Amino acid sequence: MSKTRPTTDEDRAEIKAATRDSLRKVRANKFALVTRYEESELSKFGSMAEADRFMPADVIADLQLEFPRGVASPLLETLAAIAGLKLVPLDDEPDGDSVEIGDVDRVMKEDGEAKSAALKAIGATDLSIVRTAKKEAIEARDAYGRLVRTLTGQKRRLLARAV
């Protein structure tokens, strides 16, 4: 008896790729110290050779907490996108006291990388090029989100002083 799953092969491949990307960003060996799986087991969740093994929900939560508040892991972003959702950070805690050069530098870097990757994706027939462009666009969006939260906090503090 074969089961029809609501997720497609492409969805599951995207989840695997996002798992690998997320583990790379938090360094799987370091993440293994704070979750219930060893590094060798964690790598299986991102491996296409382990087609039916995916990260359990509690480990996804552990993984997400390794990212800065308000910044979604690539895995969480992918799961939301598959569900037709968009993640938006809560604006209750702005980043930093005021905008600094590093904030602007980070936005410019991520923006440039996203634009370059998007240009390469125009007419691309290689899935990895499109995945890279998507990843870079998400990173640029996240950098802009951090900048917006920092500016929001700076604005609130300035308004509070003006009263």
pLDDT at 162: 83
Q: Residue 151: what are its φ and ψ, rounded to 5°?
A: -65, -35
- 91 neighbors 149 (Cβ within 8 angstroms): yes
pLDDT at 38: 97
Extract the tokens encoding 152.
């929001």
pLDDT at 30: 95
Measured distance CA(107)–CA(130) in Å, rounded: 21
pLDDT at 69: 79
Containing 5, the helix (H) or strand (E) segment is none
Measured distance CA(103)–CA(60) in Å, rounded: 28
Residue 1: what residue type?
Answer: M
pLDDT at 95: 56
Cα 130–62–137 angle (5° rounding)? 20
pLDDT tens column, 80-124: 999 999 887 775 555 567 899 999 999 999 999 999 999 999 999
For CA atoms 20, 24, 29, 31, give the dihedral sign. Answer: negative
Residues of the chain with pLDDT under 50: none
